[in-house]
Chains A and B, each alone.
Chain A
């Protein structure tokens, strides 16, 4: 089993990709745990290549309009909204 190298910078990088801020304690814990977990995942190397015969069928439906949520209902759970729109944080 090859040793997987996980350092705190890598954990921060992945957290950045996933848009999850971490505090220093979490980075430290995750660095340690990810090394264990990823080296366990590496046993997947022993899995042979397998012919995958997926028996899948596309499910189609007619493209018709249906009653959906009203604008008010769709906005009901939004922390912030303005003039019938979701309102998010500033882009810049």
Chain B
């Protein structure tokens, strides 16, 4: 089941139960989610050949619900990228926009759904990694509230930010998959049992937006590409004709979200990725001599450039003399973003913006300039900082035929609100 757009790293099938809400459906799984007995690489050479001895909770739940996993999807190495070009297994091409990137880091997952090679897929979202590829490939992606879905078995990049979530052709199907994977897990102490948060999600996809109040953060629209903004307003018009209303809101804190996100994510990554020393798992390279040098050589071989960049910058931000300047300020910014969103959501049911400020980039275009790539995450990263749920739904296409996504953000554990509103469009 290899694809011409390179969306799978491995195509080993994992059979699901005979019966259940997902019986007969295929759900592709991003390759940073552990699958017992099936290679899990995180898109890295470091983990080539790594075979987890246990299943992630989400994999247990979806196979118990009857889904078959058709393969493990390609991704930016350890989730670090916005284009799915940093994978050690080669870049993924966007099946909905040939010659362009599928977005990242869950690019393989969005691509197989867009191409119809899998019914649905699981991605992970640390700073937009489900919503960005969903937007670029013209499909639906949900980043759940922090704590709704278990992260047990997800190979960690930045624990305080990331969530596993569904990618599907329609909001209703994404909601069905979310309903299966959501809910508390004794193996992940950050999951929460929030009353009513996990039931009736699929039923909420009734497209009823009559009376819905939409806040539009001007900061997340003003900087976007003209063609994207035009498509965005067309989608808001569509929601208005169906009974919704919108007003503009100010979120001054989001101007600092990208830098706060990257400082926090890189800092957490520098600590999380310390485990890859080629002793318990991973590639050792077989180096002899001083053990610190052996580890440094193994990590030089095993990690790609973007991973090294983030591990080093995270190490720098946490090192003596810089902690207060970068990490502490980033935590202040995170709290500020959260307060801003909370007050905007006191006056609106959902907040809407373009998911990505730009249409899908051409392949190979963004690799030389990491800062420009980071800035493409301007609209998605604030949501992870605020621990809130968000959905990306197809809003239409630019005149050049490139997919544009609409992002809706809701209050914590307000997934139903997002599903209801999003289902009016897809």
Contacts and interface: CB of A to CB of B under 8 A. Distances in A.
Interface of A: 11, 14-23, 26, 30, 33-34, 36-38, 40-41, 43-52, 59, 61, 69, 73-74, 76-80, 86-92
B31 to A, nearest CB: 15
A66 to B, nearest CB: 10
A20 B53 contact: no
Contacts of B336: 47-48, 50
B335 interface: yes
A20 B300 contact: yes
A47 B256 contact: yes
Contacts of B240: none
A45 B329 contact: yes
B308 A37 contact: no
Contacts of A90: 288-291
Interface stretch (B89-97, B276-284, B403-411): B276-284
Interface string B291-329: 111111101100101001101110111010000011001
B319 A14 contact: yes
B53 A69 contact: yes
Interface stretch (B103-111, B258-266, B358-366): B258-266
> DSSP majority for the A interface?
loop
B3 interface: no
Given A11-B312, A48-B336, A50-B335, A22 B300 contact: yes
B118 interface: no
A44 B313 contact: no
B150 to A, nearest CB: 13
Main secondary structure of the interface of B (DSSP, over half): helix
22 contacts: A15-B296, A15-B312, A17-B315, A18-B299, A19-B295, A22-B308, A26-B305, A30-B308, A37-B313, A41-B262, A44-B330, A47-B333, A48-B336, A50-B333, A69-B54, A77-B49, A79-B286, A86-B280, A89-B284, A89-B287, A90-B290, A90-B291
Contacts of B241: none
Given A79-B279, A88-B279, A89-B291, A43 B256 contact: yes
B189 interface: yes
A20 B303 contact: yes
Contacts of B308: 15, 20, 22, 26, 30
Contact of B291 (A36, A40, A88): A88
B339 A50 contact: yes
Nearest to A52: B335
B332 A49 contact: yes
Contact of B50 (A16, A41, A47, A77): A77
A46 B312 CA distance: 24
B280 A43 contact: no
Contact of A44 (B256, B281, B305, B374): B256
Contact of B309 (A33, A78, A86): A33
Nearest to A11: B312
Contacts of A20: 296, 299-300, 303, 308, 311-312
B270 interface: yes
Nearest to A76: B53
Given A14-B319, A20-B296, A88-B291, A51 B329 contact: no
